[in-house]
Amino acid sequence: MSTPTVVDPSWLAAHRESVTVVDVRSQRDYATLGHVPGSVNVPTETFRDPSSVAVGKLPGAETFGTALGEAGIASEDPIVAVDDANGVDAARFLLTAAVYGHEGGLYLLDGGLEAWTDEDGELSEADPDPEPTAYDATLRADAPLVDREDVETAVEGDAVVVDTRSAAEYAQSHVPGAVQLGWEDLLEDDTGRLKPNDELEALLTKKGIRRDERIVLYCNTARRLSHTYVVLRDLGYEDVAFYEGSLTDWVRAEAPEWDPVELKRQVRAYADAGGFDAMVAELGEDVLNRLKLIGLYHQKQEGYFMLRTRAPGGVLTAEQAATIGEVADEFARAPEAYGGVDQNPVFGDGYLDVTTRQDIQLHWIRIEDIDEIWSRYEDVGLETMQACGNSVRNVVACPAAGIDPNETVDVRPIVERICERFLGDHEYANLPRKFKISIAGCHENCARAQIQDLALTPAVKDGRDGFAVRVGGGLSDGPRVASELDLFVEPDRVVELVEAMADLYMDHGSYLDTAVNRLRFLVEEWGVERFRDELASHADFEFEPAGESLTTDYRNDHVGIHDQSDGRSSVGLNVPTGRMGGNEFRELAGLAAELSEGELRLTPNQNVLVPHLEDDVLETFLDSAVVDRYGPDPGPFTRGIVTCTGREFCTYGIIETKNRAIRWARELDEWAEAVGIADEHERIRVHMSGCSASCAQPQLGDVGLRGEVYRDDFDSGRAADLGLGGDLADDEFIDWLVGKVPIEDVPSVIRATVLAYDDDSGADESFAEWSRRKSDAELRTILAERPEPKPPAAGTEVS
């Protein structure tokens, strides 16, 4: 097998006529930014296969041979590989060529194109138009590839396993027993070229890497290790192997465990074969974590689950909605041991929850019933796979997609294509963490681009409709507003963009340190410019700068009656806290089937939109019993309340949320009416999370609450941290102002704050704007006040 060698620009200048120079940059960069004269272009994406984690990223012999043949390369040609990434992509090409049996010499240009131009190397934009060859690539039997079992043996034996990622990544997670030697540690900081050999040898010795030992290299997906491999072989280290699957494969050693289709098949078998106890006994306790991949979260009540159902873009047919309502009414019921029909004093039993990601959650689901539930779902095209877990989650979209009068792009077909691409694909079923996407074609940012891992909002460029791109947003573990990426993407490239970003995430995200491995941490670490460059290297289409953004406003909800682009109406119903009875949801689905085109839309504010209502049926729809219960004209607090599941079911929940929030909202609406301010406020947005996580997005509310426990010299009890002033219209999250407010005092604190706002706000000044105008000290003084509350209504007291 050919051994790659490192050469400098002067060597290339002297041998340029006798070697084939391969430029592995994108076709656009190769053509427009200039290249070494006579070089041919073999872009990185042509020899990196994103389809299989288990065997790493090798493209396959036929694919590689075709790429080299089209570039006019023969097997015996000496090759010098160049890039603009300090040699890492060029090294990957050389390693791939060696593995597939290239017979000619293989050379890495130290420092890449920057080194070439620094030493006065000329660049050309001419296309060499190579004559194709018949390149026969064959995976060599002696290729230094190892698998997980080999790595385990190496760790236990005399070999040294080397992690070629950064020290920070190594600290977060690594193969046990591995030493860290980042590929960039081999480079000079100022030039990006290799350090002198004596410094390299000293560094290797310091790391315990010796010539007389077997060396096994890994990174995340075998890209970065390639550079270290070439350098070690150039220094004369003979026994060097690489783990092509790398850390991505290491954490997925048992592929079927993370295959959602296979896992779903396994779980269904226990419905009639022992249920929960048999499943756990045979598959192990850790199956409870893997079940998230198929939409099942184990509740705090042993043996019962929350089942999350995907609604891509929030869209459900009436038949699907009726099925969900039927399943909720029949199966989402508490056993007598937990109170039966009386387990919840406010909502009773057999209910469902609409979430902030346009999913639907059911509680009290048993493994014994899951096969029947999934069978009913499959009959109407519903799915729970990858609604949870570290996967590409349900795509959030504008609830009025396709009907908004000011829409630029109808995103519903794009949402469907994204779901079709990733649903059930085990390659993307266990990412480092969850991957959240939103896409909107309207101009009002109602899909909340600022808090997504990847967000697309409408834009136009050169007369073409498409999207602007934002990346790295999120709330938990340090909120961050998503960054604009200076990228314009046409609709038919969106799926490719999502795939490229998922590939990048697998390549560079940590699989073991889940506290700091959301995509936003990568954007924060790298900066937007590097992130864009890295993303471009994973994409198989050319990036172009952003066009003109068409987003003009932020729309908080879709409650009310709205005109559609076709002259019909849509009605946004207010579902406080997102919870309604399964029988009510089924009733609403029946109305949609009878009076419109048979469709419901779920919104990011946990509400429901019913579209396509003609004028002659609108009054009939509004007069129906279920619409009267969830009417489109609620009070300001009922309209603005958003909550998570809370302590009722969640193992992390500190305070109960759903019952408490709806009681508070109703009381606060009555209070606002009594003091004469209800008509002045369309909504007061109170977002309430039961713990420090952000499932209810408390950072976005006028008032944000998160569960806590307080203790003082005399007492202890449930409490909430309280913040003010979240507003995505201005890319603002709340400021957390006071901690551990006793839970019974929270309504009084909210009353005091709203009264102060009402007395002190300027004309057209929003609550969030007022909150930001006031100093923290002023706001804390207001929050310390406790107006006398009304007593709760009988029968609604909760713990």
State pLDDT tens for residues 343-391: 898 999 999 999 999 999 999 999 999 999 999 999 999 999 999 999 9
Do 240 and 146 meet the contact criterion of CB atoms below 8 Å apart? no
- Helical spans, DSSP H, in 596-647: 615-622, 625-629, 636-640
E strand or H helix at 247, and its extent? helix 246-250
Do 64 and 44 meet the contact criterion of CB atoms below 8 Å apart? no
Q: Is the pLDDT of residue 180 over 70?
A: yes
112 and 149, same domain (yes or no): no
- 382 Cβ neighbours under 8 A, 6+ residues apart: 309, 310, 320, 323, 324
Whether residue 381 lies inside any domain: the answer is: no
707 and 765, same domain (yes or no): yes
- At 254 the pLDDT is 42
Percent residues over pLDDT 70 in the chain: 96
Domains contained in the chain, number:
4
The residue out of 83, 118, 153 marking a domain boundary is 118
The least confident of 140-154, 272-286, 317-331, 784-798 is 784-798
The residue out of 250, 269, 292 marking a domain boundary is 250
**Separation of alpha carbons 320 and 599, rounded Å:** 9
Q: Is the pLDDT of residue 403 over 90?
A: yes
- At 799 the pLDDT is 37
Whether residue 113 lies inside any domain: the answer is: yes
Question: Hey, which residues does 605 pair with through a beta bridge?
Answer: none
Q: Is the pLDDT of residue 680 over 80?
A: yes
**Separation of alpha carbons 661 and 577, rounded Å:** 7
109 and 162, same domain (yes or no): no
Do 421 and 464 meet the contact criterion of CB atoms below 8 Å apart? no
Tell me, yes or no, if the pTM score tops 0.85. no
Structural tokens at position 662:
């709806």
Do 723 and 704 meet the contact criterion of CB atoms below 8 Å apart? yes
- At 2 the pLDDT is 81
Whether residue 297 lies inside any domain: the answer is: no
Nearest to 688 by CA among 698, 673, 674: 698
Q: How many helices (H) and strands (E) does the chain have?
A: 27, 31
Do 743 and 720 meet the contact criterion of CB atoms below 8 Å apart? yes
99 and 150, same domain (yes or no): no
The pLDDT tens digits of the residues spanning 704-739 come to 999 999 887 777 789 999 999 999 989 999 999 999
Percent residues over pLDDT 90 in the chain: 80
| Average confidence score pLDDT of the chain | 92
Q: Is the pLDDT of residue 795 over 60?
A: no
**Separation of alpha carbons 159 and 182, rounded Å:** 18
Range of the domain at 508: 401-549
- At 52 the pLDDT is 42
Whether residue 338 lies inside any domain: the answer is: no
Angle between helices 776-783 and 746-760 (to 10 degrees): 130
545 and 644, same domain (yes or no): no
Whether residue 597 lies inside any domain: the answer is: no
pLDDT band at 763 (very low <50, low <70, confident <90, very high): confident
The C-alpha angle 270, 276, 279, rounded to 5 degrees, equals 55
Do 692 and 740 meet the contact criterion of CB atoms below 8 Å apart? no
Pairing between β-strand 437-439 and β-strand 396-397 as defined by DSSP bridges = parallel
411 and 544, same domain (yes or no): yes
DSSP secondary structure of 428-445: GSS-SS-B-EEE--SSS-
164 and 107, same domain (yes or no): no
416 and 523, same domain (yes or no): yes
Structural tokens at position 96:
């791939």
- 468 Cβ neighbours under 8 A, 6+ residues apart: 456, 457, 458, 459, 484, 485, 487, 488, 546, 547, 549, 551
87 and 150, same domain (yes or no): no
- At 361 the pLDDT is 98
The residue out of 522, 549, 576 marking a domain boundary is 549
243 and 103, same domain (yes or no): no
Whether residue 382 lies inside any domain: the answer is: no
- At 257 the pLDDT is 56
Q: Is the pLDDT of residue 794 over 50?
A: no
Structural tokens at position 356:
């902030």
- Residue 142 DSSP symbol: T
Structural tokens at position 53:
């984690």
Whether residue 673 lies inside any domain: the answer is: yes
Do 107 and 39 meet the contact criterion of CB atoms below 8 Å apart? no
107 and 162, same domain (yes or no): no
Strand-by-strand arrangement of the 569-573 sheet: 315-317, 599-602, 608-613, 569-573, 560-563
Structural tokens at position 504:
């990048």
Structural tokens at position 595:
């009076």
Nearest to 327 by CA among 368, 282, 278, 363: 363
157 and 95, same domain (yes or no): no
**Separation of alpha carbons 745 and 789, rounded Å:** 9
- Can you give the CATH number for the domain in which 719 is found? 3.30.413.10
- Can you give the CATH number for the domain in which 69 is found? 3.40.250.10
